[in-house]
Amino acid sequence: MNLDLREFDAFPAEVSLDFEADSADFGIEGVSFRDLMSVRMTIQKVVEEYYCQGYVAVSVEEECSRCLEMFDSELSGDLTFIVKTDEGEAVMATDTRAEIVHVRSGEPVVEMNELIRQTLILSIPLKPLCSPECRGLCPSCGVNLNEETCTCKTEEIDDRWEGLSDLME
Ligand SMILES: [Zn+2]
Ligand SMILES: [Zn+2]
């Protein structure tokens, strides 16, 4: 997705975008986007710099790391960056941690996908869970313990007894 800063006549400008997106296009694995991605931003222009502050959010399906079922979730995060044109003097970009995007002054177009990708990847949990109480899969028979119980007695499989059963054979 491209953000063409020439489209705005006055600043601060409000950006409100909802668009189709594919998780593959963003190189994000393990989730699939379920709905439109939304970007909300306020853009302020100071001399030749654009200060863009907002957030991005998208509904996703992701896989529970315990029970392996897909569940609905949302990825979202801050989308803040500063656009500098090659003619601009550093005004705001001197003491900030925001990402700085360089564009040519005659063509102030920001390729947003990489910025969005970085934000969304940071919001993916390391171990996604469908619920904090997810009971996961039985390690013996593999049933989803959220949905059914099984007769496996996993807690009784114990190395100490394995030695005994060898002796008894
Ligand atoms: Zn689960
Ligand atoms: Zn089982």
Ligand number nearest to the C-alpha of 155? 2
Q: Do 75 and 56 belong to one domain?
A: yes
Ligand number nearest to the C-alpha of 129? 1
Q: Which residues pair with 162 in a beta bridge?
A: none
Range of the domain at 146: 135-169
Per-residue pLDDT of the chain (169 residues; tens, 9 = 90+): 899 999 999 999 999 999 998 888 888 888 999 989 999 999 999 888 899 999 999 999 999 999 999 999 999 999 999 999 876 565 555 556 788 898 988 888 999 999 999 999 999 999 999 999 999 999 999 999 999 999 997 555 455 555 555 555 5
Q: What is the pLDDT of residue 97?
A: 73
Q: Are 85 and 48 in contact (CB under 8 A)?
A: yes
- Give the distance (Å) from ligand 2 centre to CA of residue 130: 20
Closest Cα to residue 78, out of 41, 50, 29?
41
Cα 87 to Cα 3: distance, rounded to the nearest angstrom = 19
Global pTM reads 0.77
Ligand number nearest to the C-alpha of 150? 2
Q: What is the pLDDT of residue 99?
A: 86
Ligand number nearest to the C-alpha of 135? 1
- Residues at Cβ < 5 Å from ligand 1 ion: 64, 66-67, 130, 134
Q: Do 73 and 142 belong to one domain?
A: no
Q: Do 71 and 115 belong to one domain?
A: yes
Q: Do 11 and 71 belong to one domain?
A: yes
Q: Do 121 and 146 belong to one domain?
A: no
Cα 15 to Cα 2: distance, rounded to the nearest angstrom = 12
Q: Do 36 and 112 belong to one domain?
A: yes
Structural domains of the chain, count = 2
Q: Do 164 and 153 belong to one domain?
A: yes
- Give the distance (Å) from ligand 1 centre to CA of residue 116: 27
Q: Do 146 and 118 belong to one domain?
A: no
Q: How does DSSP assign 41-61, residue by residue?
A: EEEEEETTEEEEEEEEEEEEE
Q: What is the pLDDT of residue 89?
A: 60
- Give the distance (Å) from ligand 1 centre to CA of residue 13: 42
